[in-house]
Amino acid sequence: MKWFYELVYGRFRAPWDIGPRKELVELVESGRIKPCKAIDLGSGTASNVVFLAQRGFDVTGVDFAAAAVELGRKRAAEAGVRADFIRDDLTDLRHVSGTFDLLVDYGTLDDLSPPKRDQYLRSVLPLTHPKSQFVLYCFEWKPRWWERPFFHSFACEPGEIERRFGPHFDIECHSRSVDYSQWPAGQAVYLMTRKGESK
Ligand X SMILES: C[S@@+](CC[C@H](N)C(=O)[O-])C[C@H]1O[C@@H](n2cnc3c(N)ncnc32)[C@H](O)[C@@H]1O
Contact region with ligand X (CB under 6 A), list: 22-30, 85-93, 148-156, 164-172? 85-93
For position 107 contacting ligand X by CB under 6 A, the verdict is yes
For position 123 contacting ligand X by CB under 6 A, the verdict is no
Q: How far, in Å, CA of 47 to CA of 69, rounded?
A: 12
Q: Where are the strands (E) in 10-132, listed by range? A: 37-41, 58-63, 84-87, 102-106
CB of 128 to ligand X, least distance (A): 17
Contact 52, 38 (CB under 8 A): yes
Q: Which residue is nearest to ligand X (CB)?
A: 44
Nearer to ligand X, 130 or 150 (CB): 150
For position 69 contacting ligand X by CB under 6 A, the verdict is no
Between residue 40 and residue 59, which ones bind ligand X under the rule CB under 6 A?
Answer: 42-45, 47-48
CA–CA–CA angle 72, 150, 17 (5° rounding): 20
For position 90 contacting ligand X by CB under 6 A, the verdict is yes
Q: How many CB atoms lie within 10 A of CB 149?
A: 9
Q: How far, in Å, CA of 68 to CA of 49, rounded?
A: 12
User: Residues in the site for ligand X, rule: CB under 6 A?
Assistant: 5, 16, 42-45, 47-48, 63-65, 68, 89-91, 106-108, 111
